[in-house]
Structure 1
Amino acid sequence: MKRIHYLLALGTFGIGTTEFGVIGILPQIAAAFSVTIEKAGQLLSLFALIVAVSGPFVMLLMSSVNRKKLMLFVLGIFAISNLLSVFATSFNMLLIARILPAFLHPVFWSIALSIAANSLYGETSSKGVAIVFGGFTVSSVIGIPLATLMASVFNWQSSFVLCAVINILSFVGILFFLPSIKIAEKQTVSSQTKILKKPILWISFTLSFLMIAAMFSTYGFMAVFLARVTKMNGTQISWMLLIFGLSGVAGNWLAGFLLNKSILKTAFMFIIALMLIHLLLYCYGLYFVPMILLIAIWGFVHTAGFLISNVNLTSSAPESPEFVNSIFTTCGNAGVTFGTILGGYFISGFSVQNVIWSSIGLLIMALLVWILKRFGNFE
């Protein structure tokens, strides 16, 4: 079964690089099209917003389609989108090319995470999900920093060429090595949507939303922070993103281990650790050498956030795995959208360094919801 998990991780690697690869090249895109960094951030926030809005509906509509064919279709559309982005002659054209595949993003994630969670049983199910999320982690380690480096060495268009190549490689891997996946007995819309009546689902949704929003309120502008506050150049920023991603591999693995012990305790540790890191980023962001260490620690904690948020939410409705995973894509991308918009507001209203406080405020709210979930009775 692990071979299936790694094939799915290859797909999430391609999807993750496409969605988040722009993080490191926002300054170049803003300069190329003469737009503000806040507007350039729409390449991330609007992509995430489309995913958030379309997630559950698209998965319900396609619930009877062959899973392997669906995943191949999604990867193909992502590759085409990246190639169209290369030839964009205006910011609006680039924005349209970016958001078109976002409607299909939830399909791949929902299927991949559902397969991962259900192909292993008991305590090991979180490990299967962790492997699939590892594809996103590797995209942080290799895809995002390499996209940033290519933009620095060549131009911003080369970053989208890279994303297209990764999607094509993912497509080939799924096509030749993933076996055909039989569709389980089709569930009716009403049988799947009944989980929406569960209070614990919405408490978990809110907690995951706030954690992810807190992550991306600052992380979405990481390249800008390093350029303007720490005064790093493009090459140095790409290396910092690499360090961030490498440490995230270990963080993702540890989160998978801890989640098998206790989901709530792991979520608590994540909230507190990320809050402390952001305070340190605010205090030492001006200093080059301390920031190298802080970026490593930040990546270790941050990267685990998606896995923790996913298990926190999906464990509240295990009876409908694909639908609850599509709800998670809505939750996660709504969090990315809100966090990025809030971060952009703090940058434009205050300063780049003060974007840290948007994340800290969201983490305090997440802690309050965690307390409600821990001590409330919502089952």
Structure 2
Amino acid sequence: MGSALSVSEGTAGLMVTVPSLVAAVSAPLVPVLVGRMNRRLLLLGLMGLMTLANAASALAPSFAVLVSSRVLVGVAIGGFWAVASSLAVRLVTTANVPRATAIIFGGVGAANVFGVPIGTLLGGFSGLRIAFAALSALALVALLALLAVLPPLAASQPVRPRLLAEQFRNPGVRVGILATFLIVTGHFSAYTFVSPALQKLSGTDERLVGPLLFAFGLAGMAGNFVAGAALARNPHRTVLAITVTLAAAMPLYLLLGRTPAGGAALLIACALAAALAVRSARTNENLR
């Protein structure tokens, strides 16, 4: 991307950093700003914004315009997940919430498996603009699907800053937020170095890293659905057991991951545990 835009690799990285930071800020702000807006209309509007923002990225005449369009992508991502993550509570009965949430977040695992390689393939063969255009087209498909199947979702009450602040008085919410933050931060900090760890610590052939990352994504998808079944039986015990497993998997890699087979097994175990832990934390927050 840097060579295509005539900027350094570090500068090109702003296309990832900027929307990520904007999404983090937008997640709590969008529900506050929209007040009582019907959540169906909100989701349609956010997906429409995603469609237009990616189209703007594909047509951007300069890097400055491209980064500006990525800001809009960040708004759409943050706002969408702030609302979409709680849809299961509104669409199904309480008993089916864990399974329904597993299906919703199964899309994250699918994106890890298919999104990055497909995007890389499109960018490599057709160029950066075609990849962004494809994202715009996919967002449009999602918009049309939402329009066809999502029922009206009236807001019971507007989200006020005071109401958000009051949530922190709930010990369960505080623990859920802290646990999610620590687990996701730890997971992605480790995942950043998964390729050199597999090659240098486990002695894995470089040609096998790609297939192992594909298996990592598949394991994450499976973890989402396993979590749904486990949470339906005992959510708090499930969260505790999975978090302990994930915490133990990292140091165990130094002891048991010294061979290609050991490294691959622990990589899959980490993927399962991370998916289970994140899904568990999110589901518990929704149930509260």
- Determine if the alignment matches structure 1 residue 139 to structure 2 residue 111: yes
| Deviation for aligned residue 1:84 | 3.0
2:168 corresponding residue in structure 1:
196
| Deviation for aligned residue 1:154 | 4.6
- Determine if the alignment matches structure 1 residue 206 to structure 2 residue 168: no
**Which one-letter code corresponds to 2:141 in the other structure?**
L
2:215 corresponding residue in structure 1:
243
Unaligned ranges ≥5, structure 2: none
For residues 331-342 of structure 1, the aligned pairs below 5 Å read: none
Give, in whole Å, the separation in 2 of the partners of 1:84 and 1:240.
Answer: 34
Give, in whole Å, the separation in 1 of the partners of 2:8 and 2:255.
Answer: 30
Deviations 1:149-171 (A, max 9, x none): 33455544444333223212111
**Which one-letter code corresponds to 1:166 in the other structure?**
L
Report the CA distance shift for 1:135/1:86 in structure 2 as closer, same or farther (over 3 A). Answer: same
Q: 2:157 aligns with which of 174, 183, 186?
A: 186
| Aligned-partner SS, 1:60 | helix
Q: 2:69 aligns with which of 81, 90, 97?
A: 97
Point out the more displaced range, 91-100 or 211-220: 91-100
| Deviation for aligned residue 1:288 | 5.9
| Aligned-partner SS, 1:104 | helix
| Deviation for aligned residue 1:90 | 5.8
For residues 161-176 of structure 1, the aligned pairs below 5 Å read: 161-176=133-148
Are the counterparts in 2 of residues 75 and 170 from structure 1 also a CA contact under 8 Å? yes
| Aligned-partner SS, 1:260 | helix
1:77 corresponding residue in structure 2:
49
Q: What's the % identity of the aligned pairs?
A: 24
**Which one-letter code corresponds to 1:174 in the other structure?**
L
1:232 corresponding residue in structure 2:
206
- Determine if the alignment matches structure 1 residue 309 to structure 2 residue 287: no
Point out the more displaced range, 305-314 or 191-200: 191-200
Give, in whole Å, the separation in 2 of the partners of 1:36 and 1:93.
Answer: 17
1:35 corresponding residue in structure 2:
8
Q: 1:148 aligns with which of 107, 116, 120?
A: 120
Unaligned ranges ≥5, structure 1: 1-28, 319-379
For residues 1-379 of structure 1, the aligned pairs below 5 Å read: 29=1, 32=4, 33=6, 35-36=8-9, 41-88=13-60, 92-179=64-151, 181-187=152-158, 189=160, 190=162, 193-220=165-192, 232=206, 239-279=211-251, 291-315=263-287, 318=288
Report the CA distance shift for 1:223/1:87 in structure 2 as closer, same or farther (over 3 A). Answer: farther
Give, in whole Å, the separation in 2 of the partners of 1:283 and 1:90.
Answer: 49
Are the counterparts in 2 of residues 141 and 242 from structure 1 also a CA contact under 8 Å? yes
**Which one-letter code corresponds to 1:249 in the other structure?**
M
Are the counterparts in 2 of residues 149 and 238 from structure 1 also a CA contact under 8 Å? no
| Deviation for aligned residue 1:30 | 5.1
Give, in whole Å, the separation in 2 of the partners of 1:96 and 1:221.
Answer: 30
**Which one-letter code corresponds to 2:8 in the other structure?**
V
Are the counterparts in 2 of residues 251 and 304 from structure 1 also a CA contact under 8 Å? yes
**Which one-letter code corresponds to 1:162 in the other structure?**
A
Give, in whole Å, the separation in 2 of the partners of 1:258 and 1:80.
Answer: 39
| Deviation for aligned residue 1:192 | 5.9
Deviations 1:49-95 (A, max 9, x none): 22222322220221322222221221122122223333456655443
Report the CA distance shift for 1:42/1:213 in structure 2 as closer, same or farther (over 3 A). Answer: farther
Point out the more displaced range, 96-105 or 191-200: 191-200
How many residues are matched?
284
Structure 1 length as normaliser, TM-score?
A: 0.63
**Which one-letter code corresponds to 2:112 in the other structure?**
S
Are the counterparts in 2 of residues 281 and 294 from structure 1 also a CA contact under 8 Å? yes
Bigger relative contact order, structure 1 or 2, given CA contacts below 8 A and separation 6+? 1
Give, in whole Å, the separation in 2 of the partners of 1:194 and 1:306.
Answer: 23
Deviations 1:296-328 (A, max 9, x none): 33332333343122124344xx3xxxxxxxxxx
Give, in whole Å, the separation in 1 of the partners of 2:3 and 2:193.
Answer: 15
1:333 corresponding residue in structure 2:
none
Structure 2 length as normaliser, TM-score?
A: 0.79
Give, in whole Å, the separation in 1 of the partners of 2:200 and 2:128.
Answer: 19
**Which one-letter code corresponds to 2:183 in the other structure?**
M
Give, in whole Å, the separation in 1 of the partners of 2:256 and 2:61.
Answer: 39
